Structure 1
Amino acid sequence: MSVRETLGKHSEPSLITVDGPSISPLKEGRAISTAAVGPWRLVAGKLVRQKVAMAAGAIILLLYLVGLFAEFLAPALPMTSRPQYTYAPPQGLSLFVTKPDGSSEFNFHVKGYKVEIDKVALRRTFVVDDTKVVPVGFFVKGPLYRLWGLIPTERHLIGPINRSDPMYLLGADRLGRDVFSRLIYGTRVSMSIGLVGVAMSLILGVVLGSISGFYGGWVDTVIQRIIEVVSAMPTIPLWLGLAAAIPLTWSPVNVYFVITIIVSLLGWTSLAREVRGRFLALRSEDFVTAARLDGSSETRLIFRHILPSLTSHILAVVTLAVPTMIVAETSLSFLGIGLKPPVVSWGVLLQDAQNIRTVATAPWLLIWPSLAVVIAVLSFNFFGDGLRDAADPYDN
C-alpha cells in the first residue's frame, strides 16, 4: 500500500521523519532526500550568501574580462606616443556642453588642452581648457589592431570621434602615451602572470604533497627536507638574483615565462604541506581501505578517491595565492629586474613613474597602477576568504 493510500483523505505531510537523512515534502508521490545535495552545491550555496566575497568575485571577473578584450577596450595602442602631450593631465568625461546663449546640449565629450608656462620651473605645462570640446563616441574607429592576435579591426569601445584629437582619460606619461590604454594592457599581463604562476605552484604542491602524505617513510622525509630548504630561502633576494640572471637579449615572451617560473618557485611549499597533512589524516579512512580492497591502484587512490575530497580547500588556497604572485611580479618589474618595455604590466607602469618630476607634476602615473594592484589584491583576498569559509565542512 502506498503512502498516499495509507494517509487516506488527509493532506500530504510536510515532512516525514525516518531513521537517516530527512525527507523533503512529497511531490507527485516522490520524496527528495537532502543527502542527495552534492558538496559543490553546498559550497556554492554558502558562498552566494557571502555578499563581500561575491562582490570581490565580480571584480575579479571584470578584471579578467578587461584583460581578455584589452585591444577593444583601450582607446589607443600602448606604445603610441605623442610628445606634444607630454605629462598631459587627466580629462573628465562630460555629457552636456553649454551653448553661448546659456542653454545646455547633450554632447558626450572631454575638454581639450591649452599650454601654459610654469614661471617657477621654466617649462611648459598642459592644463584642461574648458572652452575646447573634444567629441567622444562609442565603437569609433581608431588605431588598427588584431583582436587576440587574429582578427584585424579598427573598432574601439570608446575614443575621440576625430582621431587627431587628444583623449587622455587618466593622463599621459613622459612620452605622451595614454595611461588609460597602458593600464588596460597591463591588466592582461599582471593578472595572467598570477594565474600561470599559481598553476605551476598548484601542480608542484599537489603532486609532491600527495606523494609525501600517501607513502610516508623515507619518501615523506626527503620531500619535507626539500620543502624546508626552499622555505628557508629569503624570498626577495632569491627573486632578485634569479631575475638579474635573465639575459638582456631575450625576447619579451621568453622573459615573461621566466618571470612566471621565478614567482612560482617559492609558492608551492605551503600548499604541499597542507595537502600532506590531509593525506595523512585520510589515507587510513574506511573509504580508502574499501577502494584498496576493491583493487584500486595507488595512483587511482591518490587522484580518484583522496584528492577530490580536498578540491574545495585547494581552490581556496589557490585563490589566496594569486595576489602573492601579482605583487611579486609588480615588485620585480618596479625594481627594474622583471618585465621590461615593450611589455606593459602594472609593475612596468610603476617603474616608469620613478622620477621626481612624476611625483611633483604627474602623480596620476603612480596613482592608477597602484590603485589597480590594491583592488586586485584585496578582491582576491576577500574572495579567497569567502571561498575558504564556504568550503569549511565544520562551518554551518
Structure 2
Amino acid sequence: MRQAPQYKLVWWRFRRNKLAVVGAVVLGLIYLTAALCEFWAPATPDTYRATYSYAPPQRVHVSFDGGVQLFVHDYRTRANPDTMLREFTVDTSTRVPLRFFVKGEKYKLWGLFPSDIHFFGPVEPGRPFYALGADEQGRDLATRLIYGARISMSVGLIGVLVGLVLGVLLGGISGYFGGVTDTVIQRVIEFVMSVPTLPLWLGLAAAVPPGWGPIKTYFAITIILSLIGWTGLARVVRSRFLQIRSEDYVLAAELDGVRRMRIINRHMLPAFTSHIIATLTLTIPGMILGETALSFLGLGLQPPVVSWGVLLQDAQNIRVLSTAPWLLLSGAAVIVAVVALNFAGDGLRDAADPYET
C-alpha cells in the first residue's frame, strides 16, 4: 500500500487547523509587504512636511461620478486659542485624487533597482495623503509602518537562523555523545537560561558602541537576540537525539561503520525536522518582541533606522498620545505579527507528527 510522504501528512493536518491557516496567510502578507516595502508604501519614510505635524488619519472616499474614483479630503488647519496647538479639520471642498500604481517619490527597490511607481497614492505628487495619520515631523505613519516591517520581521528570521545553528550543533553534540560533554553543555544552557532575559538584553545592548552605523547596530542586535534564543532549541534537539540514538536504524548504521556526522545528518536530523521547524516558528515572536523592547527603551535600533520598536518611541509621551493616538498603531502591528506567528507555530507543532490522532 502506498503511503503519503511526511511533508504531505504534515500539510494535510496543518490545513485542518483554521487558526493556523489564518496565521500563515497573515504572515505571508506581512512578509510580502516587508519584502517590497518600497513599492507598497505611498511615500518614503524620511519625507516630512512640518505643516502636517500630527495630522489625523484621512478617510478614503469612493465616488461614482464619471466612473469609480478614490479620493481623500484635504485638511483645513487653525491654531487653538487655548492650547496654541495646530488643529486639523476636514476640508470637504478640496479633494485629493488617489490611484493605484501611481508615480511618486523615487526609490530603489532593495537598494538596487530605481523606480518611482507606488502601489497606491495621490495622483499629484506632493499632495497630502495620510491614511494612518502623521507623526511629529509630518511623516506618513503608514509608510513608516510598512518600512518598519522589513526590519522587525527580518530580525526574527536572522536571529532564528543563528540560533538554529547553535541549537542544533550544541544540542546534537550533547544528545549524541552524552557523558561529560552532555553535562558541560547542559550546565552552560542552564546558566544562560537562569539569567533574566530583559536585564541580559539591556546589558549586552548597552555594550554596543553608540558610534556604530545602522547596519552594524542591526546585526549587533540580531546577534544579541540569537545568543539568548538558542537554549530552548538545544534542549529540544538533545531530548530527540537521546530518544533516537538507541533506534535500530541508528545502531545498524554505527555497526556498518558509517561516520558519526553522516549518521546525524542523514538518519537523525531528518527524523524530527518538522519539530525543529515548529520550534523555530514559536521562537521568532520572542525575537521580534526583544527587538521592539530594546528599541522602545532606546538601547536597540535608533533613527534613521525604521522599525516598529523605533516607531513606538514616539508613543512614550502621554501628552502626545492624547492628541495623536494613532502613533500606537506600531504596537498593534507587533501584536498582529506575534499572534499570527503563534497561531502558525502552534498549528505546525500539532501537525509535526501527523501519525498521531
- Tell whether the structures are fold-level matches, with TM greater than 0.5: yes
Q: Deviation digits for residues 9-42 of structure 1, max 9, x if unmatched? A: xxxxxxxxxxxxxxxxxxxxxxxx23x3211111
Using the alignment, how far apart are the partners of 1:139 and 1:105 within structure 2?
18
Greater shift, 121-130 or 148-157, is seen at 121-130
Give 1:371's aligned residue. Answer: 332
1:236 equivalent to 2:198? Answer: yes
1:163 alignment counterpart: 125
Letter matched to residue 111 of structure 2: G
**Counterpart of 1:95 in structure 2: which amino acid?**
V
RMSD: 1.3
The structure 2 residue matched to 1:288, chosen from 250, 253, 264, is 250
Q: Is the aligned partner of 1:112 residue 2:79?
A: no
1:75 corresponds to which letter in structure 2?
A: P
Match of 1:59 among 26, 35, 38: 26
Deviation of 1:356 after TM superposition, in Å, equals: 3.0
Secondary structure, counterpart of 2:107 in structure 1: strand
**Paired position in structure 2 for 1:380:** 341
Within 5 Å, give how 1:239-250 maps onto structure 2.
Answer: 239-250=201-212
- Corresponding residue number in structure 1 for 2:99: 137
Give CA deviations for 1:81-128 in whole Å, capped at 9, x if unaligned.
Answer: 11011000001111117xxxxx89642101110002223312221222
Unaligned runs of 5+ in 1: 1-32, 98-102
The aligned amino acid for 2:91 is D
TM-score (norm 2): 0.97
**TM-aligned CA deviation for residue 150 of structure 1:** 1.1
- Corresponding residue number in structure 1 for 2:88: 126
- Specify the alignment match of 2:150 in structure 1: 188
Which of 180, 190, 215 matches 2:177? 215
Query: Is the contact between residue 89 and residue 128 of structure 1 (CA under 8 Å) also seen in structure 2?
Result: no
Moved over 3 A (4+): 103-106
**Structure 2 counterpart of 1:358:** 320
| Alpha-carbon distance in 2 for matches of 1:239, 1:315 | 25
TM-score (norm 1): 0.88
Q: Which runs of 5+ in 2 are unaligned?
A: none
The aligned counterpart of 1:199 is: 161
Higher alpha-carbon Rg: 1
Contact 1:88 1:127 in 2 (8 A): no
Match of 1:89 in 2: 56
When structure 1 is superposed on structure 2, of 385-394 and 216-225 the one drifting more is 385-394
1:37 aligns with 2:11: no
Pairing 1:296-311 to 2, within 5 Å after superposition: 296-311=258-273
Instruction: Answer yes or no: is the 8 Å Cα contact 1:389–1:395 preserved in 2.
Output: no
CA contact (8 A) 2:13 2:354 kept: no
Q: Paired residue for 1:276?
A: 238
**After the TM superposition, which of the residue ranges 131-140 and 378-387 deviates more from structure 2?**
131-140
Q: What does residue 49 of structure 1 align with?
A: 16
Q: How many residues are paired up?
A: 357
1:227 to 173, 184, 189: 189
Asked if the contact 1:109/1:135 (under 8 Å) is kept, the reply is yes
Relative contact order, higher structure (CA 8 A, sep 6+): 2
User: Compared with structure 1, are the counterparts of its residues 76 and 390 closer, same or farther at alpha carbon in structure 2 (3 Å cutoff)?
Assistant: same
Question: CA 1:283–1:130 in structure 2 vs 1: closer, same or farther (change >3 Å)?
Answer: same
Deviation by residue 1:33-83 (Cα, 9 ceiling, x = unmatched): 23x321111111111111211111011011000001000111111011110
